[in-house]
Amino acid sequence: MKKDFYEILSVSKSSTTEEIKKAYRKKAIQYHPDKNPGDAEAEENFKTAAEAYEVLGDADKRARYDRMGHAAFDGAGGFGGGSQHMNMDDIFSQFGDIFGSAFGGGFGGGFNGGGQRRVKGSNLRIKVKLTLEEIANGVEKKVKVKRKVQAAGATFRTCATCNGQGQVMRVSNTILGRMQTAATCPTCQGSGQILDKKPEGSDAFGMLVDEDTVSIKIPAGVVDGMQLKVSGKGNEAPGSNSIPGDLIVAIEEIEHEFLKREGENLHYDLYVSFPEAALGVSKEIDTVSGKVRIKLDEGIQSGKILRLKGKGIPSINSYGNGDLLVHVNVWTPKTLNKEQKNFFESMISEENFIPKPEKSDKSFFEKVKDMFS
Q: Where are the domains of the chain?
A: 1-86, 121-149+210-255, 259-372
| Residue 182 contacts residue 104 (beta carbons within 8 Å) | yes
Residues 216 and 213: their CA atoms lie apart, in Å, by 10
Residues 113 and 38: their CA atoms lie apart, in Å, by 11
Q: How many CB atoms lie within 10 A of CB 244?
A: 21
Burial of 63 (0-12, 13-18, 19+ CB in 10 A): exposed
Mean pLDDT across the chain: 84
Confidence of residue 253 (pLDDT cuts 50, 70, 90): very high
Confidence of residue 87 (pLDDT cuts 50, 70, 90): low
Residues 317 and 313: their CA atoms lie apart, in Å, by 12
Q: Tell me, what's the pLDDT at 335?
A: 92
CATH of the domain spanning 259-372, picked from 2.60.120.1130, 3.40.50.720, 3.40.50.10710, 2.60.260.20: 2.60.260.20
State pLDDT tens for residues 91-112.
Answer: 555 555 555 444 433 334 554 5
Residues 250 and 227: their CA atoms lie apart, in Å, by 4
pLDDT above 90 for 224: yes
Residues 6 and 14: their CA atoms lie apart, in Å, by 10
Greater model confidence, 199 or 358 = 199
State pLDDT tens for residues 2-22.
Answer: 789 999 999 999 999 999 999
pLDDT above 90 for 179: no
Q: Tell me, what's the pLDDT at 113?
A: 45
Q: How many CB atoms lie within 10 A of CB 311?
A: 21
Residues 6+ apart with CB under 8 A from 268: 258, 259, 260, 285, 286, 324, 325, 326, 327
| Residue 253 contacts residue 224 (beta carbons within 8 Å) | yes
Q: Spell out the CATH class of 121-149+210-255.
A: mainly beta
Residues 370 and 373: their CA atoms lie apart, in Å, by 5
CA dihedral 272, 277, 282, 284 (to 10 degrees): 20
Same fold, 121-149+210-255 and 259-372: yes
CATH tag, 1-86: 1.10.287.110
Confidence of residue 114 (pLDDT cuts 50, 70, 90): very low
